[in-house]
Amino acid sequence: MLSPIRDIKLASTEVILEKHPSGVMYVRSTLELGPYPQRMTDRLDHWAQTTPARTFIAQRTPEGPWRRLTYAQAADQGRRIGQAIAQRNLNAQRPIAILSGNDIEHALLGLGAMYAGVPYSPISTAYSLVSKDFGKLKHIFKVLSPGLVFAASGQQFAAALKTVLPAGAEVVCTREPVEGATPFADLLSTAPGPELAAAHAQVEPETVFKILFTSGSTGMPKGVIYTHRMWTSNQEMVRQCWPFLEDEPPVILEWLPWNHTFAGSKDFGMILYNGGTLYLDEGKPVPGAFDETLRNLREIAPTIVLNVPKGFEAIIPHLRKDPDFRRHYFSHLKALFYAGAGISQEVWDALQDLSIQACGERILMLSGLGATETGPFALWVGKDVRSAGECGVPAPGMDLKLIPNGRKLEARLKGPNITPGYWNEPELTRAAFDEEGFYKIGDALRFVDENDPNKGFIFDGRIAEDFKLSTATWVSAGPLRVNFLAEFAPYAKEVVIAGADRGYVGALVFPDLDACRELSPQPGTVAELLARPGVRAKFQERLVNMAKTSTGSSNRIMRVIVLDVPPSIDAHELTDKGSISQRAVLDNRADVVDELYRGSPRVISIA
């Protein structure tokens, strides 16, 4: 018998399904979308008036204590910055670019830009600090033409600024300024005046407030346009699906970067819309940085944890070994939410078991389906979800269109939360929508139960990643990748599925070198490590195990090559959030794919 679920309010997942003779299906929630404000700044003003002393954002100082920004302070300082922006020659043709990561100044600059009606764009720090040639940053600045560039530490971003800064653009820094930079304090010292009042009066639901560049998994990043209507309607969808947010203002601890829609739109917006509190986490779920996250979680008891699967994987060992920490972690928790990648059933089950140990109840594991272009909340799961991989039903106000595409159902979406297009990219915008105005998200879905659409859908891979073998057999690369990584954990970090027009499926594997070194700890180069018998034997063992559960050539991987050269962000193989572009890897490493099928000492095969 299953343990009870912690009782929290969720909306109904009942849907209406319409089937057309053509095979096209339309799905929508039975719930109507409720009213939402015209501008997100209306929510900030509301909380500044009704809960002025509540903490909006908190960031730990170098000395240890939390620096807290209340809603009243955020509204006041946001308006001061808005006045400073309104006094400058900044507009949609000369917007604001933010190079540095999450901090209070970053948040305030975004709020000030919203008050002034000037778009801003938070840009991945990887494009400035990891890239060697600043290629993606150059592309973004060419598309944006920013008139003001913010970098919290001018010296940290000095090389990027020197390379890409447009003529006449102002640089603003909080600390360690580059020559000629404006101190952030100067923006805060500006008193709100008539210029701001006039600018804010012009801000409407269709006003563009943010340009959020995609990760570039299919090439150069595209600037997704965010309007106030898009954001406020999407946050009303979240609130309506998760009415527990009204019972208690949400409290979250977050490390995920604001240049991604997950943290920057979904999570930041959820806090602002519902009057919650956001604690900024400078830790990450990677060796050497996770201790800071643990330190913070021992002080902060979130009401909801929103994370990528890797973040949940990192916390599980600590929850297992420390009962006091486990009880604290689950003490105020209403739900867990994962996105950004598929979560394994093993991690799902572990979190459920740990919640039962801590509080005698199962904590809901929530997820969904969305994209930068959808705000991102589009599909969501309810209480009846029992396993990883389900992505639920359309949120109120969303229309889901399913089109037969080969053996799959291609998903398309329409609603007030859908982007109007890509910044200064009219051809890409036209290509992104079909004749009925549905956004082509590029994902495939399948019913959990074809006889009961209320049970929702399961993610069925990316349409563009599927291919045919030379035998005309279709290969669904997305689910095969998930199964591969589950089988090869912890030795494989990522895998790229190959085999288009070939006789069988192969794979290129990016290894986890730390795990591989545990198999063979002797010193040596990466290539030498991967060539050692113990490492090769482990990969072959896992390959054989995976083949035993395959049902045919479409999901049987016959050969792999474990790569000794990591993916490159400059070659577009690696996105700023660490995900792999399958197409870029296959294109850039066509010679390795040929080697995989031709045969070489590096190839590991079933036989």
Distance CA 175, CA 599 (A): 55
Answer for the pair 297, 253: CB distance below 8 angstroms, yes or no: yes
Backbone angles phi, psi at 247, to 5 degrees: -70, -35
Answer for the pair 202, 117: CB distance below 8 angstroms, yes or no: yes
Domains and CATH numbers, the chain: 15-36+240-463 (3.40.50.12780), 71-203 (3.40.50.980), 466-605 (3.30.300.30)
Distances (CA, A) of 431 to 218, 224, 226, 375, 421: 14, 14, 18, 19, 10
Give pLDDT < 50 ranges for the chain: 1, 217
Q: Give the pLDDT score at 577.
A: 62
Distance CA 245, CA 264 (A): 18
Instruction: Tell me the pTM.
Output: 0.86
Q: Hey, CA dihedral for 293, 309, 487, 516, is it positive or negative?
A: negative
Q: Give the pLDDT score at 479.
A: 81
- Give the pLDDT confidence of 5-43 residue by residue, as tens digits: 777 889 999 999 999 999 999 999 999 999 999 999 999
Reference 437, options 381, 368, 373; nearest CA is 373
Q: Is the peptide bond before 490 cis (omega within 30 degrees of 0)?
A: yes
- DSSP secondary structure letters along 327-343: HHHHSS--EEEE-SSPP
Distance CA 210, CA 98 (A): 11
Q: Give the pLDDT score at 256.
A: 93
Give the E-state strand segments of 325-426 in sequence order: 335-338, 364-366, 368-370, 377-380, 390-394, 399-405, 408-414
Q: Give the pLDDT score at 217.
A: 47
Sheet with 55-60: strands ordered across? 66-70, 55-60, 277-280, 251-254
- Give the pLDDT confidence of 403-445 residue by residue, as tens digits: 998 778 999 999 999 999 999 999 999 999 999 999 999 899 9
Reference 290, options 266, 313, 257, 267; nearest CA is 313
Q: Give the pLDDT score at 67.
A: 97
Q: Give the pLDDT score at 582.
A: 83
Q: At what angle do helices 309-321 and 323-330 cross, to 10 degrees?
A: 130
Distance CA 575, CA 222 (A): 13
